[in-house]
Amino acid sequence: MTKTIEIIVAPNGQTRVETKGFVGSDCRQASQFIEQALGQQTDELLKAEFYQTATSQQHMKESQ
């Protein structure tokens, strides 16, 4: 899966940073500079991929 970082801006000006294709805490490192530029974080929602390890991700690719 391709690694992407999406920045969603709502009509009211609120922003959301969403990462895709990252495993574990790599998403936090990849999006850190964007989050710092946007200001104070008010909420965080972690996806299932955050709790995966690189090894389990590799097994999923091999079995597909």
Whether the pLDDT of residue 63 is over 80: the answer is no
pLDDT tens figures, 2-54: 999 999 999 999 999 999 999 888 888 999 999 899 888 888 888 888 887 76
Range of the domain at 24: 4-63
pLDDT given at position 11:
96
**How many domains, in total, are found in the chain?**
1
User: In a 10 Å sphere around its CB, with 0-12 CB exposed, 13-18 middle and 19+ buried, how is residue 22 labelled?
Assistant: buried
Contact residues for 18 (Cβ-Cβ < 8 A; gap 6+):
5, 6, 7, 8
pLDDT at 50: 83
